[in-house]
């Protein structure tokens, strides 16, 4: 009977969390196959899934290869992988697109996180409704939504933490039997393969838990210490092949880790919602004295949780209150970071415990962003929240009242956390990449200048070896970065490293730009929405793409007409000279009526291609520097690139091709509204 009840409860909880996952990430459910949920590193983790399958099928070492940062290659043991999800994606890839697999894995993290906390809540003695609310709070929180939006597939899969804590407590209660200890070690291995940050957090938490439980009876201190040590040692032994590779790679030379001295949680961030959330926008519009939390929005704790967790702290069992209060305080203080920040002001004279650890313990700075400790703070808060709901619902005489109360609390918690409609990243793929896969040799190298990991995402289509800009993978070895010092690779990469960007009117962005190089390339990107007519005026000849075709090349004045209800990709590029007073103007044109009578000007709607915050208006404008290099002749430089193995240079539609066309004297072999490709003949 008990097993049937547990099964029924898990079914109800799973169904509820699945429905919430679909609703809270809308419109992801209608774009599962054509758009990535979130942005940022989403393309990177999509590449992880493809590469692990491709390398295993092709008998290529998955961690040491020259398919990235070609021709030298790299070993990327320290890369961010999330191996459990990546391995689980392999059998799905023949049947589903990579985009679909990534999106499903992201949605699954919400369901599993809720179930993990629900099971732990029931294990600790909280009622069904209290455990259900705790799972909802733990999963559908600002931290989870922030990691989903940033595309951090490793950090959003924090669902294994409550499974590990439950298995650790079960091992202690069972007298540290080997079967229980192995189960706890298995969960710890799963956490490490998902995120090494969470592995470190769980080791710290397990030591805290065991020390507290041992204080009650010193005779069991040795037993508990030995049991905990066995769990950690078993997990380290299983992980030793990866750990040894990471240690070896670190010894080969890595760029110095930057300890996030300024990446600190603002004290206000725990009580003020971020402006990207729906609740944050409502709060900001309701009173001018509220200042939106933009520094660390993932740290916001819903006001409903503060109230109910306070009730739970006073009413829960003494053992739970003591151990998880210590847990909460420890991780809360660590999440505050290196220096104290409050009200938007950073007090660098106040060094917090994390700063002392980062300075005093070698390697402690690898955590980099102490904000990540917050998920452990929230873990303890959810247990107190469960206790509060359990206490209050127990005072209700009717099951229907209990269900209604729990549903109301869940609605308030999710409503204070979510930010619908959710960011969806279409990442359109140029047909050129498909042609490249079928019409080129597998050994041909491609220099792809897309930002960050987008070049790797496109590698999943063309399957060719890639050299790109810095930042394609995490923690790049110094040996791979040394290629950037080789001419002409240095010049091609450098001219696509922007020195100024912003969102707004092009003339305003230019006015706010710092001192420029002698000559620069100006690129403005966005989407135009009709109806209306637009006039573009530049001091120097410009190039304009609208939709999928070029509308102007080499002109100074261009008029565009945007149709009703249309949204088309817009790209404007021109050159700017220092001190020349160059301008870029966009203005609406008067639309004459049917009898030739002039009507009022109509403004074409403009939405930036990259927007931060998402509600901003205008074009995304980028300024690329250009300095004339002292280099060999064009034929010599082209020969250097060919000898290195490169056959193609790909410049994205937002990139800078000045060096490629002017110095290397290459002409486009392929061009569309997404990229320009140059063949190194």
DSSP letters, 372-425, are: GGHHHHHHHHHHHHHHHHHHHHHT-S-HHHHHHHHHHHHHHHHHTT--SSPPEE
Q: Which residues of the chain fall below pLDDT 50?
A: 287-290, 292, 593-601
Cβ-based neighbours of 403, under 8 Å, separated by 6 or more: 129
Nearest CA to 610 out of 571, 576, 582 is that of 571
Q: CA 27, CA 29: separation in Å to the nearest integer?
A: 5
Cβ proximity of 390 and 129 under 8 Å: yes
- Which two tokens mark 357? 């650890």
- Write the DSSP assignment of 288-347 as a string of letters: TT-----S-GGG---HHHHHHHHHHHHHS-HHHHHHHHHHHHHHHHHHT-SEEEETTEEE
Cβ proximity of 421 and 26 under 8 Å: yes
Q: Does residue 27 have a cis peptide bond before it, meaning omega lies within 30 degrees of 0?
A: yes
β-pairing, 424-425 vs 345-351, is unpaired
Provide the sign of the torsion angle of the four alpha carbons 463, 467, 473, 478, taken in this order: positive
Nearest CA to 146 out of 483, 495, 418, 459 is that of 418
Cβ proximity of 43 and 452 under 8 Å: yes
Q: What is the pLDDT of residue 123?
A: 94
Cβ proximity of 478 and 255 under 8 Å: yes
β-pairing, 339-342 vs 584-588, is unpaired
Q: CA 67, CA 433: separation in Å to the nearest integer?
A: 16
Nearest CA to 378 out of 327, 340, 423 is that of 327
**Radius of gyration (Cα) for the chain, nearest Å?**
28
CA distances from 146 to 58, 260, 275, 469 (A): 36, 18, 12, 26
Q: What is the pLDDT of residue 237?
A: 95
SS3 441: coil
- Residue with token string 């151990």: 323
The conformation of residue 352, written as its DSSP 8-state character, comes to -
Task: Provide the 10 A C-beta neighbour count for residue 234.
Answer: 18
Cβ proximity of 98 and 460 under 8 Å: yes
β-pairing, 668-671 vs 675-679, is antiparallel
Q: What is the pLDDT of residue 659?
A: 87
Edge to edge, the sheet with strand 668-671 lists 465-468, 445-448, 646-652, 675-679, 668-671
SS3 523: strand
Q: CA 624, CA 516: separation in Å to the nearest integer?
A: 9
Q: CA 87, CA 616: separation in Å to the nearest integer?
A: 38
């Amino acid at each position: 009977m008990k097993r049937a009840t547990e099964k029924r409860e898990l079914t109800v909880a799973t169904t509820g969390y699945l429905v919430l996952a679909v609703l809270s990430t809308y419109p992801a459910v209608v774009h599962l196959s054509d758009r990535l949920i979130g942005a940022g590193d989403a393309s990177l983790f999509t590449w992880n899934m493809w590469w692990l399958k491709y390398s295993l099928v092709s008998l290529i070492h998955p961690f040491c290869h020259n398919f990235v940062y070609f021709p030298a290659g790299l070993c990327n043991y320290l890369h961010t992988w999330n191996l459990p999800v990546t391995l689980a994606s392999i059998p799905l890839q023949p049947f589903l697109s990579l985009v679909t697999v990534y999106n499903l894995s992201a949605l699954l993290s919400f369901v599993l996180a809720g179930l993990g906390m629900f099971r732990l809540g029931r294990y600790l003695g909280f009622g069904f409704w209290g455990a259900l609310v705790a799972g909802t709070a733990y999963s559908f929180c600002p931290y989870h939504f922030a990691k989903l939006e940033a595309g951090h597939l490793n950090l959003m899969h924090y669902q294994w933490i409550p499974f590990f804590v439950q298995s650790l407590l079960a091992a202690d209660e069972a007298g540290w039997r080997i079967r229980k200890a192995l189960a706890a070690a298995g969960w710890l291995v799963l956490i490490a393969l998902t995120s090494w940050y969470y592995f470190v957090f769980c080791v710290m938490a397990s030591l805290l838990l065991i020390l507290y439980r041992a204080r009650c009876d010193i005779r069991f201190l040795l037993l508990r210490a030995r049991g905990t040590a066995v769990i950690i040692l078993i997990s380290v032994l299983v992980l030793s092949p990866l750990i040894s590779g990471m240690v070896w790679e670190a010894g080969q030379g890595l760029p110095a880790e930057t300890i996030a001295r300024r990446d600190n949680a603002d004290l206000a961030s725990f009580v003020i919602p971020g402006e990207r959330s729906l609740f944050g926008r409502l709060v900001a519009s309701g009173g001018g004295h509220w200042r939106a939390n933009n520094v660390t929005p993932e740290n916001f704790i819903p006001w409903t949780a503060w109230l109910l967790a306070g009730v739970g702290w006073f009413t829960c069992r003494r053992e739970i209150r003591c151990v998880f209060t210590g847990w909460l305080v420890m991780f809360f203080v660590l999440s505050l970071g290196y220096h104290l920040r409050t009200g938007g002001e950073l007090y660098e004279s106040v060094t917090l415990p994390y700063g002392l650890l980062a300075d005093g313990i070698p390697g402690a700075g690898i955590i980099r962003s102490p904000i990540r400790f917050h998920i452990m703070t929230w873990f303890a808060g959810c247990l107190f929240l469960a206790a509060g709901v359990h206490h209050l619902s127990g005072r209700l005489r009717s099951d229907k009242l209990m269900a209604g109360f729990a549903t109301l609390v869940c609605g308030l918690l999710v409503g204070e956390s979510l930010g619908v409609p959710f960011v969806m990243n279409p990442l359109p793929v140029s047909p050129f990449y498909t042609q490249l896969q079928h019409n080129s040799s597998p050994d041909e190298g491609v220099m792809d200048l897309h930002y960050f990991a987008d070049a790797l995402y496109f590698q999943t289509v063309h399957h060719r070896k890639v050299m790109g800009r810095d930042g394609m993978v995490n923690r790049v070895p110094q040996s791979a970065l040394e290629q950037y010092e080789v001419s002409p690779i240095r010049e091609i990469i450098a001219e696509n490293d922007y020195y100024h960007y912003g969102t707004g009117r092009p003339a305003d962005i230019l006015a706010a730009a710092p001192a420029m190089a002698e000559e620069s390339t100006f690129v403005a990107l966005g989407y135009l929405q009709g109806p209306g007519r637009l006039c573009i005026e530049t001091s120097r000849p410009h190039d304009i793409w609208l939709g999928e075709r070029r509308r102007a090349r080499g002109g100074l004045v261009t008029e565009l007409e945007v149709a009703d209800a249309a949204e088309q990709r817009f790209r404007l590029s021109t050159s700017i000279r220092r001190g020349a007073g160059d301008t870029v103007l966009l203005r609406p044109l008067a639309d004459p009526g049917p009898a030739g009578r002039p009507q009022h000007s109509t403004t074409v709607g403009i939405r930036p291609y990259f927007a931060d915050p998402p509600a901003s208006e205008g074009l995304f404008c980028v300024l690329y520097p250009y300095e004339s290099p002292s280099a060999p002749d064009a034929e010599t430089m082209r020969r250097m690139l060919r000898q290195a193995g490169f056959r193609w240079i790909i410049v994205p539609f937002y990139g800078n091709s000045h060096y490629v066309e002017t110095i290397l004297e290459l002409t486009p072999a392929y061009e569309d509204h997404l990229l320009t490709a140059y063949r190194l003949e």
